[in-house]
Structure formats: C-alpha cells, structure tokens
Structure 1
Amino acid sequence: MATVLSLLLVVLLSHAPSAFPATTTAATTGFRVAITRTHSPNSFTFKERFHRAVQRSRRRREVLKLANYSRHDVEAVFKWGDSEYLIELAVGTPMQPITAILDTGSDLIWTQCTPCIRCLPQPSPYYKPSTSSTYSVLPCSSPSCSGVGHRCNQKACQYDTSYGDNTETRGFLATETLTFGRKRVPGLTFGCGIWNNGTLSGSTGIVGLGRGTLSLPSQLHPRRFSYCLTPYNSSSTGHLFLGSKAKLGRRHRGGHVQTTPMLPSPSAVPFNTYYYLPIQGISLGRTLLPIPKTAFQIKKDGNGGMIIDSGTLLTIVDPAAFHVIVKKILSLVHLPVATSTDELLCFSWTPGLHRLPEMPDMVFHFDGADMVVPKDKYMISDPEEGLCLAIMSGEGTSILGNYMQQDMHILYDLKANSLSFADARCDQL
C-alpha cells in the first residue's frame, strides 16, 4: 500500500502547479448553499426505516464515545443513507462539481479523487486534481497536517481517517479553490481521497462543520454560520448560510429567537470538534420531568453532556433521562405498546381503530433558552405501521439529533460562542 501511495503521490505532484504553497487565508463576506437530503429506497417499510435509523444513531453515539479515546476514529457516515443532509459545491479550476454530506460532528472536508486505488460509487465524476490549476499537495510541515490523523509520504501530508461504520478514506491533504454557488474561495485545505472504503450514501465526500481547525467554518473564519433543515418526509430544499448571510430575521413561525451559550469541549475530546449545549432539563407540557442532574453532566473523560449534531437522526439521552421520559409518555399514550426496551419505545397504531393521542410540546431547557419541540418532532408516525419515540437511550454523550431540528433555523455564533434558534419554514428562507 505504501509503495502504491508513493507512486500516486508522484503523479499528483507532477500535475500540481506548486507542490507546497503557502497556506491561503480564505475570507468571505457571506454566502448560502442549498441543502437537500438523502432518502432510503421506497421498498423499505416504516418499521425497517425506523430500525435502520436506530442502528445509525446508535453507531453514531458509539463513535462519539470512542472519539474521546482515539484521534483517528471520527463520526460515522451511515450505511442506509436516509438521515444525511447534502450540499452541492465545486472543486478546482476549472470547477468540478461534488455533492457532500453536511456534518457538524466532524471537521475534515474531503472528496474522492483520481488517480484512485479504490473509490466508492458516486453520482458524479471523480474529482481530477491533475486538471486543476489551483490544486497543491501540503507538506507535513504545514500546520494543517496536525488537524487530522496523518503520516508523511515523501514529506507530503497523507491523512488516514476511519469512520464508525468501517467507512475509511485515505489520501493527501491539499489546498484547492472551492466554489459555493457563485462564491469562489481559494486556498482551502481539503482531503483528496484516493483510497476509500465503505459507503457515502450517494455523495462524493463530507464537508465538516465542527470546531476543529480543518472544518469549513474554522478555515473561512466567519463570525457565524447557520442552517435550516427541511422535514424528514419532504423533498424541499433547505439552506446553509455562512458569514453575513447567517442571521435570524423576521421569517420564523411564532415565538422569538432563543439564545444559549455553547460550552467548551472537554480537554479529552480530540480536535475540539463538538458543539456542547448547557442543558438544564426537559419538560413535557407544563411538567418538568424529574431527570437527575447527573444525566447531563460532562465527565472528565469527555463523556456526558449534550452536543447538537446535524449527522445524527434520533436524539439520544442518558438512560436515566430516557426512563423518565418513557414513563411520562406511557402515561399520555393509550395505544398498544409494540416495543418497549431499555433503549426504544414504539406503539401500535391502526387507522380507524386507534386515534393518535393529543400530546403536549416537549421543551429542552438550556441556559437562558427553551427549545420547544412539537409532537411531530419527538414522535415518528406512520399511518400503517406505528408510532415511535424519536428519542433513544445511550450511555455517554447525549445528542440533539436532526429530526428535532427540522424546520428550525439554527445559528452558530462562533465569535460570541452561542447557539440561537427559531422556528422557520426552511423551504422559504
């Protein structure tokens, strides 16, 4: 493998206009990019889709837990491809289109490229650095090289990243011009993946939005960024906003903008990737649930607490919090229980025989802000097969998943270190 990579490096360098350029600071006044979502095949039933979502969310949580102990294990790109949100952009000069998974739980920006030892199927041609006049491989001496698991190959920075579902990408860190809509940004560090294994859910790679040095926000240095995710069962388009375009304006449904500070990552978390939120408790209707305070405490080893993540479908909470939530849900829902385990809760529901219950809003109480989650964002329903709680149990770090973030404009203020949110029609922003 090392010999093959060395030969490919020679090819990549031979076509690059400058092998080891100085790093370019990418400044931007602001832009927006459309967000779409992947969908599982229609042949999957509701029950199959839900249990696949459980498996993806469970694996995501496991990898987040593992990430506290290994600098090479990062978040999973999940196999069944119906919980990821995608953005379209272009790489290189002339521009070559790519479609990447949007992920606030990881940092590296990468795409599959040629010449390729092993590449996964994707909907568009593989990126060809040999045809781009703005592509340059980075040396190991580059500060960017320390932002990812890496090794040196003929003094070039070779990255090696493995994901929790056994997806892997290996290749070379390089600088390149990325284009978002009409906005061209030169000198961004990204991964040119020439050995890739696993699955990419119909995309070409990943755009990381985490807090680490190689993420898109960290490289662009915007004061803020935001996104608005369209509903799970919708084919409409949401948007990612960066810089001056990221703001919460008048177009939000009901209520007012809520703002909470983001907590610093524990020192045990590699690369400072995750966005931790100061959760104080959870209410269902007017009832503050008796969840132990220890359920959301951040531990010295990096586990515990709650992060917000665009790449996890279901919300995951500590078992102590889950059991309290389930007890309250069972007192409100008078339907036959289909699944009730230490991890999941589902009810049977037959149209014409059962009526969907009236259920109050769920409220996540953060420091200085309340996130109101209506029934259709914490319960997943299908008229033929059932009603399931969109919350699962898992030890370790709790995760506010993207199902609860639907039709909510969420703003990350990186200068103020705060998170703001408001209800919105994401397809109308």
Structure 2
Amino acid sequence: MANVLFFFVAFVVLLFLDPHVEGSRLSLTHVDSAAQLTSAERFRRAARRSHSRRQAFEGKWSSPSTVVAVVDYAGDTEYVIDFGIGSPVLPATAILDTGSDLIWTQCVPCLDCLSQPSPYYDPSKSYTFSPVPCSSPFCSNRSLTDIGCGGDRCLYLASYGDGTESTGFLGTETFIFGDGSSIAGVTFGCGFQNNGSLSNSTGIVGMGRGPLSLPSQLNPRKFSYCLTPLDSSAASHLFLGSTASLGGNRGALIGSTPLISSPLTYFSTFYYLSLLGISLGGTRLPIPESVFQLKHDGSGGTIIDSGTFLTLLNQAGYDILREEIIKQVRKPAAELPEVIQDLGIDLCFSFHGASSLPPMPELVFHFQGADMRFPRDKYMAYHDELGLLCSVIVGTQSFSFSIFGNYQQQDMHILFDLEANVLSFVPANCNQL
C-alpha cells in the first residue's frame, strides 16, 4: 500500500513539473574508473579510444554524401552519467557525448541487446512514456527516419563510428537525475536492436547542438562540465540549466569565445571554436590563421569534444608546434617504443632515472576573444615506467579539422551557453566543485 501511495504522489508531482529542468548537477564517471589500472594503462586506453574516434570523424568528413543514417561517435568515449528514467524510476547509466545528438537507451522487447549493469527499460511498464508519432516535427529529420514508420511510431537508426548501432522508436519520457531534478517530456530513442560497444552502459546521452540533444531540450539551453584529472578518484561533474555557472570560481579569470556553426547542416552537431593561433614560451608560432579556420565549404575548423582524449591538430599547425617544442626544450626527441607509436604519439623526451622533470614553456591557444593557457602537465604526460615525457597533442594527416580534446580540458570549468552562442572557461579544482 505504501508503494502504491508513493507512486501516486510521484505521478501527481510530475503532472505539475515544468517540462524543462531549472538546474541540475550530475556526477560523471570515467569509463575506466572501476578497472584496476595503472596511470599509464589508463592513458594508453584513452589514447586508443581517441584514435578510434578520429577514424569515425575521418569517415564522416571524407564521404558525407554516402551516409544514410545518424553517424556519431559515442561508442569510444570517456565519461558516463547515472540517471533514472520512467515512472516507476529505473536506473540508467549512459555514455555522455558532445559529438552526437540523440538520447537513447536499450529497451524491451530486446530483439538484440548488449549487456548492461541494470535491467532493460520497458516502456509498457512506465505510465509517463508516450510514443512519438510519425507526424511529430522530430520525425522530419530524414536521418532518423531512414527505416520508415511503423504503427504510427517514429523509427530511428543510429550508427556510430566504432560500429555501434541502435535501431528503435522515439518516445517521450521523464528523466530523473541524482539530485532529484526531473525533466518531463524528454524525447529519446528506445532501442530494441543494438550492437557494438556501450562501455557497460545502457545507452547514450547526446550533448551536441541538434534538436534532439539533451541541452536542446532544456530551458535555458546551457550546460557546463568540470573534468577531474585522469588518475583522480574524484568524480567529474555536469551542470544543467541554472546550475551551469562559473561564478563560484573566485579570483580566476574567466575567458569567453564565440561558439560558431558549420555552414553545412550535416555538421551542425559540433561545437566549433575560432582558434586563431598558438604561442609557446611567449613566442607566437608562424601558423597562418587559415590552418584552423572553418571554411565556407564546411571543411577545417576546430571543435571542442568531451569524448576525445588527445588534442588532434591540423597537421600543418602541429608540425610547426612540434618543431618549436623541440627547439625550446633544447633536447633531442626520444626514439619511440612501439607501445607509444601505437598511440599515434610522435613526440617524447627521455628523462629515465631523472629525479624530477624540468620546467617547460607555457603553451597558449589563442581563441577569438580569449586565451587558454596550459602549463607543462596540460600538454605533456610523463610515462614513468618508460621514462618518457610525451606530447598529448598529435597531428592529423588525413583530415583538415582539429579537435580540442579532454586531456587539456581537465581541471577547467567549461560553460556552453547555447542561447548566447558563447563558450566560457576558467581554471578550477574540479574535485572541489
């Protein structure tokens, strides 16, 4: 009887909830946090995921006209979030991805599903679930309706660069976050046929710029995150709505730069930044602005991505940076063992047996309106078992755009204001937020 009363009260409360969350704080868990791994192993696994993700990007940019379904990149990514879905509430753990839009979870009836840590969501058992009909505006997106409609339900096919796929139908549901915040009427995918990799999660939460992403379905449309270092045991955090504020970082200088959009709708998911140039040790590098510029045909540009570990720079710009690092360190680059070459990293210095690492020049990314400053440990990583200090910035020979990865975003509070089209950032101790 008590349970019945509880669910009745919950239902009444949900009826009066605003369909958009006013503010919420969620914990982010790194995909390798539960594994017993050394710091070096964590680094290598994350770097390999970066290259899987890079290959997915390469496929999208090289042949966009041949893609007939949603092609995103979340299978090989870095962070997952815990939340609840439905009424009664079912726990879910989903991959967080700023490079994709669709929110989806594995659903009953599971014709073909991946293993996950909690029961599969069953829409027939939730009194707050509603199917999205084919007449819905969300079904006007051709990439979500390539397999047509059935029973007046909007069907979708989502495929990801690592081979992960999900087939299902769209619905609306109530999402409940760990701090008790509820969002009613969220449009999401109910996947009944799924394969590939979900990093032991139940689905994917798209944080991109498309209409089906979580930020696009919130009011106000803003969010922020603060990522703890890779080897930290503390959780990272995602802030939605009114809780997304940098005001608590007292004494630190907040930088802001415009978020720009691709001229091609096909690439509208991504958060582009205007990277104008790079300095090292006070020396502005002779990199033409056009190297990082977003072109009129949609090529080039620089995106910020939470799901890519390494920073991937247009090769022309990276080659100049690499040469300058070697020049200012005044030490020859080390011969790379195969385990490092496999990560795509091509610049390391040997400090095997050294009692301490030497200081290195400050690296600065010059964005339109703001500079991001990085000390040595934000662009170099030490592999103690190899005695190598290696760059976490690599070149991209096979495509022209650049990706600002999450290693350099660690211990930085980053705010996406999608109404003002501005990205703001400030150095922070993310484990203390």
Q: Secondary structure at the match of 1:345?
A: coil
- The structural deviation recorded for 1:234 is 1.0
Distance 1:44 1:247 in 2: 34
Q: Secondary structure at the match of 1:323?
A: helix
- 1:28 alignment partner in structure 2: 21
Distance 1:295 1:139 in 2: 45
Check 1:324–1:191 CA distance in 2 against 1; reply closer, same or farther (3 A cut).
same
- The structural deviation recorded for 1:299 is 2.5
Answering whether residue 395 of structure 2 is matched by residue 389 of structure 1, we say no
Q: How many residues align?
A: 400
- 1:260 alignment partner in structure 2: 257
Distance 2:99 2:201 in 1: 17
Answering whether residue 169 of structure 2 is matched by residue 172 of structure 1, we say yes
Deviation by residue 1:167-214 (Cα, 9 ceiling, x = unmatched): 111111111111112111111100111111111112111111111000
Distance 1:52 1:30 in 2: 33
- 1:296 alignment partner in structure 2: 292
Answering whether residue 381 of structure 2 is matched by residue 377 of structure 1, we say no
Distance 2:240 2:224 in 1: 7
- The structural deviation recorded for 1:149 is 2.4
Letter in 2 for 1:87: I
Q: Secondary structure at the match of 1:324?
A: helix
How large is the Cα RMSD of the aligned pairs? 2.4
- The structural deviation recorded for 1:142 is 0.9
- Comparing 25-34 with 394-403, which one deviates more in the overlay? 25-34
Q: Unaligned stretches of 5+ in structure 2?
A: 1-16
Distance 1:266 1:235 in 2: 41
- The structural deviation recorded for 1:352 is 2.3
- 2:83 alignment partner in structure 1: 89
- 1:56 alignment partner in structure 2: 49
Seq. identity, %: 51
The 5 A counterparts of 1:20-419 are 26-39=19-32, 41-42=35-36, 46=40, 50-68=43-61, 69=64, 70=67, 72-78=69-75, 84-147=78-141, 148-150=143-145, 151-181=148-178, 182-251=180-249, 255-270=252-267, 272-333=268-329, 334=331, 337-339=334-336, 344-347=345-348, 349=350, 351-353=352-354, 355-385=356-386, 386-394=388-396, 395-419=399-423
Q: Secondary structure at the match of 2:309?
A: coil
Distance 1:377 1:61 in 2: 21
CA contact (8 A) 1:118 1:197 kept: yes
Check 1:356–1:98 CA distance in 2 against 1; reply closer, same or farther (3 A cut).
same
Letter in 1 for 2:429: R
Check 1:276–1:71 CA distance in 2 against 1; reply closer, same or farther (3 A cut).
farther
Distance 1:281 1:292 in 2: 7
Check 1:330–1:348 CA distance in 2 against 1; reply closer, same or farther (3 A cut).
closer
Answering whether residue 432 of structure 2 is matched by residue 428 of structure 1, we say yes
CA contact (8 A) 1:161 1:170 kept: yes
- Comparing 352-361 with 367-376, which one deviates more in the overlay? 352-361
- Comparing 346-355 with 279-288, which one deviates more in the overlay? 346-355
CA contact (8 A) 1:87 1:99 kept: yes
CA contact (8 A) 2:74 2:99 kept: no
Q: Secondary structure at the match of 1:242?
A: strand
- The structural deviation recorded for 1:38 is 1.3
Distance 1:72 1:377 in 2: 37
- The structural deviation recorded for 1:26 is 2.6
Letter in 1 for 2:360: M
- The structural deviation recorded for 1:358 is 1.4
- The structural deviation recorded for 1:356 is 2.2
Distance 2:168 2:259 in 1: 33
Distance 2:68 2:38 in 1: 35
Distance 2:335 2:355 in 1: 14
Distance 1:427 1:43 in 2: 20
